[in-house]
Amino acid sequence: MQLKKLFAVATLLVGALLAGCQTTNPYTGEQQASKSTKYGLGGVLAGAAIGAIADGGDGALKGAIIGGAAGAGYGHYLDRQETVLRAELEGTGVQVYRQGDELKLIMPSNITFDSSKSDIKSAFYPVLGSVAKVFKEYDRNLIQVVGYTDSTGGDKINVPLSLARADSVANYIAFQGVMGERISAYGRGSMDPIASNKTTDGRAKNRRVEINLLPAPQR
């Protein structure tokens, strides 16, 4: 296939992705491409490059089609998962972050645990129940639960406490019916602070449990 023809077909693929996946930003009113579009475009480019190396122009076209479909499919899955999690967790104090193909939930310790304790607060059980419900519905993730503390107290206290809190969250999610093979728990103490430990507000932000949702290996 001639290069010009390949370029024209790739342009049509990109245009179709952009046209089909435009959304309106509810805050600005502007048109924007969804995350699934970005995954699809990345898949088109990556697939075309690999296909070209393997089989010239025809391979590039096939790779673009396959790569675009795969990329957009996974991106769309994450779009839906993120939307459901945000709806379930609105007003709970749990923050939802998206970076590439990973989703992160940040749970401040003041809403999950009493001071220096690892037993989940009774008022937080319904929130974790909602999280577990989404995890059961969307099962293409590995679930990494990580506990953190501020820098006061020293590692001898902070590391075991952070691990005990991560274990409490992980065990409750598994108790709600999420497959245990998907779940792992870690305690990192005062490592990886997200705010300054020099202020009261910063230390409060650092005392947290994070749930990282990572792509599961393809079966």
Average pLDDT over residues 5-21: 48
What sign for the dihedral angle of Cα 197, 201, 203, 205? negative
What pLDDT shows up at residue 167? 98
The CATH number for 92-215, chosen from 3.40.1170.60, 3.90.1150.10, 3.30.1330.60, 3.40.630.30, is: 3.30.1330.60
Whether 8 shows a pLDDT value over 90: the answer reads no
When pLDDT is averaged across residues 30-46 and rounded to a whole number, the result is 49
Contact between 67 and 46 under an 8 Å Cβ cutoff? The reply is: yes
What confidence category does residue 73 fall into, taking pLDDT thresholds of 50, 70 and 90?
A: low
What is this structure's pTM? 0.69
Instruction: List where CATH 3.30.1330.60 sits in the chain.
Output: 92-215
Question: CA-to-CA distance for 36 and 20, rounded, in angstroms?
Answer: 10
